[in-house]
Amino acid sequence: MEINTFTWIAIFAISSAIVNSIGIFVIYKNKKWTSKVKAYFMCFAAGVLISTPLIFALPNAIKMNSYAGVMALIGFLFMFLSNEIIKQKTKQKSLAFGITAVEGIGIHSFVDGIIYAVTFSASLLIGFLSGIGLVVHEFAEGVITFSVLMKTKIGKKKAAFYAFLVAALTTPIGAFIAYPFINKLNSSILGLALGFVCGVLIYISAAHLLPEAREYEKKHSIWAFLAGVALSIFIVITKLIGG
């Protein structure tokens, strides 16, 4: 039986929440091991998320609407400016720092959910490729969210619970809220939405995941990044050959 679009969105959105929760749980139990593997997860996810828009998603968006490239730029700038605003606010210390940083993570995770709705509505392959990168990066995001909350000195249990609410639960919520609206868009408008999402994905990879991973530079982390790129290229080529 063929799986419909909504089911795929639900599978990936819920998987994101699960992987994010695993990241929270693992750092809660074993901080030392988590710090060793986090960079590899981020690099692999970055490789997938930078490749997918450039080699497949954005060209398809432009086919649907010739202005999709402009929307990709707008999506990139939206994320860039949002991040700058959050950076300015997070100059504060302790609890204020934690609240504003978590606000940013919550918005980011909610947007991840919307990305699932847009990409799977545009194409199963685009959704699948984007979904791989987003799901993998959720592990690191869960770790980061918990770490930020621990700086507020609210205690491990509360930090884990709030990290789950903000970083894990918001992704499926974003996907389920966005899908009914995205599902009603015609091909041209969906092309613009996909273009915007491509800009967001490029930003997440190039300006968020890779710089974050560089702070925890590990031996062979570049191979994790290249593995993510290679996986995207392999899946796209396989799809093209298979028709």
Q: Could you report the per-residue pLDDT of 118-151, keeping only the tens digit for each? A: 999 988 888 988 888 888 888 888 887 888 777 6
Quote the pLDDT of residue 1: 44
Q: Taking the chain (243 residues) in consecutive chunks of 10 residues, what is each chunk's mean pLDDT?
A: 80 94 89 78 85 87 94 91 73 54 76 91 88 86 81 80 90 94 88 91 82 68 86 80 61
Quote the pLDDT of residue 172: 95
Q: Could you report the per-residue pLDDT of 201-238, keeping only the tens digit for each? A: 888 888 877 776 666 666 677 888 888 889 888 887 87
Q: Into how many domains does the chain fold? A: 1
SS (H, E, C) the chain: CCCCHHHHHHHHHHHHHHHHHHHHHHHHHCHHHHHHHHHHHHHHHHHHHHHHHHHHHHHHHHHHCCCHHHHHHHHHHHHHHHHHHHHHHCCCCHHHHHHHHHHHHHHHHHHHHHHHHHHHHHCHHHHHHHHHHHHHHHHHHHHHHHHHHHCCCCCHHHHHHHHHHHHHCHHHHHHHHHHHHHCCCCHHHHHHHHHHHHHHHHHHHHHHHHHHHHHCCCCCHHHHHHHHHHHHHHHHHHHHHHC
Which residue range forms the structural domain that includes residue 111? Answer: 5-242
- Say what the pTM is: 0.77
Quote the pLDDT of residue 39: 80
